[in-house]
Amino acid sequence: MGVIAQCIVRTSQKVMAMRNATHNQQSPTGDNTGAQPHIGHVYLVGAGPGDPDLLTVKAARLISTAQIIVHDGLVDNAILALAPEHCRMISVAKKRARHTVPQQGINALLVAEARKGHDVVRLKGGDPFIFGRGGEEVDDCRAAGVPVSVIPGISAANGGAAQALLPLTHREDSSAVTFVAGQCKGLSEQKWAGLAGKGRTLVIYMGVHTAEAIVEKLIDDGVTPDMPVAVLENATRSDARALRTLLTDLPDMIQRNAIKSPALLVIGDVVLRADAQDGLEQIKHTIPAMIKEAMA
């Protein structure tokens, strides 16, 4: 742990000790009969896309003094290691179509622990309010009368794009950027018309497993098959990859390179500015035929 991180941890521990002492103080008569039970505070903390160095100072402070951490599966182990030894760790890891704890169960857990008087750090990959279901957790805490705060984190899109030197907006290429989910509520229920194309950037979360349907949907909406696309896998981590191809080749490129989640899809001309492995070299002799087939 670096010197700055050590200072943050030591300061945070002193602050938490003072808060605990205040909570434990009795009334001047020494009688707490009839006192309202202490309700803990729920902190929804963005852990960022993976690299521990991208944590905010406030996030690092809350993690280092946490009593209970309820964490997602995408939170890096190096971030979890910042928690104190006495901290109770509760994993609510989610994988595609397989949730160890359903969302309503997570919400209930946060409320129940806070009602016992515990401060709870709900640690989420990326940012809690960008496809992190943080809004639902805030709603349930509010409804239960539990104090709740949100500490933003660097999103996977911001972190992954920065690592790949891929500007999501650019004066010459894109004046708008949109984030969508590739599997949330089903693709058929989402209206993407106009979100991708010239002068725009579309970032798709959770789209690796539905890439074929995404390509078909976008082309049907009028996006040209030769629109540049990047895939950002394991953003900001040591095993991160950035790959580039054309929209029509996206599903095949994912298969050729065995790309796995977590990964983002970025669609738009800004992709040509990225520091990415160019998948077009592998298929350049078949590109004309692929584009012709996609437009047929």
Active-site residue identified among 58, 94, 221, 269: 94
Strand partners, 43: 121, 149
Q: What's the residue count for the chain?
A: 296
What SS3 class is residue 157? Answer: helix
Report the run of H or E that residue 232 belongs to, with start and end: strand 228-233
Report the distance separating Cα 230 and Cα 244, nearest Å.
4
Q: Of 51, 72, 76, 173, which residue is the catalytic one? A: 72
What are the structure tokens assigned to 19, written together? 């808060």
Asked if residues 50 and 235 have their Cβ atoms less than 8 Å apart, the reply is yes
Contacts of 36 by beta carbon, 8 Å cutoff, 6+ apart: none
Q: Which letter, b or e, does each residue of 73-103 get, where b requires 16 or more Cβ atoms within 10 Å of its Cβ?
A: ebbbeebbebbeeebeebebebeeeeeebee
Q: Confirm if 186 and 249 have CB atoms less than 8 A apart.
A: no
Q: Let me know if 72 is a catalytic residue.
A: yes
**Tokens read off for 54:** 């991208």
Residue 39 carries which DSSP code? Answer: -
Q: Catalytic: 94?
A: yes
Alpha carbon separation from 158 to 45, 92, 115, 179 (Å, rounded):
17, 24, 35, 11
Alpha-carbon gap, residue 177 to 161, rounded angstroms: 12
CA distance 212 to 261: 15
Q: Dig out the tokens for 131 from the structure.
A: 């496809």
Return the active site residues.
Answer: 72, 94
